[in-house]
Structure 1
Amino acid sequence: MKRVRAALGASIGRIAATAAVAALAFAPVSLAPAKAANLLELNFWLSGPNYSGVVPACDSQEALDLIATRFAETERRFWASSLSITDFEKVHEIAFRPWGQEYQPRRYCRGTVFTNDLKKRVIYYSIIEDGGWTGATWGVEWCVVGLDRNYAYAPSCKMAGP
């Protein structure tokens, strides 16, 4: 019993010593007074967003091809499906910058897609300035009604719109 108490006392002593050393090591950092940012730090890359508002139209073939390609890839990779979009129809704009000029430009669109399972479905999508890979170009987000399997834009793709 005495041995257990001695070992326990030694362990507590080591923990207390380690905590004291750690506290002393970080004390100079935490006790240093806070400094205000200098002129360079205040103005370095903090100019705010510089959006041009140039976003492809809803019926842009480049945007539609990107949606079709990524749709087929998503179906194949995540849902083990060979489903793909074969055609678009009745594509039109719903809104452009609906929340004002100071927000990231988005063009909201609606249309109909035909898929290779011979079904006709509604699609909602948005084309977003600086929404592509690394923000270098525009990007797209889409939702096909009835195929939102993870309910990312539920209910019935309503959250894909403005």
Structure 2
Amino acid sequence: MKPLCLALFLVFGLGAPAEAYWRKGYLPTCDHGPVIAKIQQKFSYANNNTFAWGVGIEAVSDIRETPEIVHNTSLIGRRYCRGVAWLSDGRSSEVVYLIESKQGFASLGYRVQSCLPAFDPWHVYGSWCRSIKP
């Protein structure tokens, strides 16, 4: 039993560096359905509870990944993405989002941080969402 526990600790406890998680697909892609759903949910929450803009994100199109400029040596894998958010009133807006691995509950899963520059009056992610861009 002890060798099995040791083997499991070595495999799961030490883990692989972020690049290996990235290459093996543990980090969802930019156009993954649940990622887009989290962006819509976050915008809807801000609309309903804070700003009352009266619009929601209907769809996200023209999704692309932005490569990192600096080589990341962190154990947290990151994907920098951007696209066009189509709002319920017919307008469109740029959406910038970051997907980070090992950021869910108990370091399992991933976290999505998103920002629409035109809908960030408090500059939570800096001017024009700079802090979640590579």
TM-score, with length taken from structure 1? 0.63
Aligned to 1:91: 63
* Secondary structure of the corresponding residue to residue 157 of structure 1: helix
* Secondary structure of the corresponding residue to residue 156 of structure 1: helix
Residues 135, 122 of structure 1: alpha-carbon distance in 2 compared, 3 angstrom cutoff: same
Larger radius of gyration: 1
Matched, 1:79 2:31: no
Aligned to 2:99: 127
Structure 1: any 5+ residue segments left out of the alignment? 1-46
Higher relative contact order (CA 8 A, sep 6+): 2
Residues 102, 158 of structure 1: alpha-carbon distance in 2 compared, 3 angstrom cutoff: closer
Equivalences, count = 116
Q: Quick check: 1:97–1:106 contact (8 Å CA) kept in 2?
A: no
| Paired AA for residue 89 in structure 2 | D
Task: Flag the structure with higher strand content.
Answer: 2
Residues 65, 137 of structure 1: alpha-carbon distance in 2 compared, 3 angstrom cutoff: same
1:65 to 37, 52, 57: 37
- Measured after TM superposition, the shift of residue 71 of structure 1 is 1.2
Matched, 1:116 2:68: no
Aligned equivalents of 1:160 and 1:102: distance in 2? 16
Structure 2: any 5+ residue segments left out of the alignment? 1-12
Residues 71, 98 of structure 1: alpha-carbon distance in 2 compared, 3 angstrom cutoff: farther
Question: Equivalences for 1:1-162 in 2 at 5 Å?
Answer: 51=17, 52-53=21-22, 54-95=26-67, 98-162=70-134
Residues 59, 78 of structure 1: alpha-carbon distance in 2 compared, 3 angstrom cutoff: same
Aligned equivalents of 1:139 and 1:76: distance in 2? 21
Q: Quick check: 1:76–1:83 contact (8 Å CA) kept in 2?
A: no
* Secondary structure of the corresponding residue to residue 115 of structure 2: strand
- Measured after TM superposition, the shift of residue 82 of structure 1 is 3.1
C-alpha RMSD over aligned residues: 2.2
Aligned equivalents of 1:74 and 1:134: distance in 2? 25
- Measured after TM superposition, the shift of residue 140 of structure 1 is 0.2
- Measured after TM superposition, the shift of residue 100 of structure 1 is 2.1
Residues 65, 125 of structure 1: alpha-carbon distance in 2 compared, 3 angstrom cutoff: same
- Measured after TM superposition, the shift of residue 159 of structure 1 is 2.2
- Measured after TM superposition, the shift of residue 134 of structure 1 is 4.5
- Measured after TM superposition, the shift of residue 48 of structure 1 is 6.7
- Measured after TM superposition, the shift of residue 68 of structure 1 is 0.6
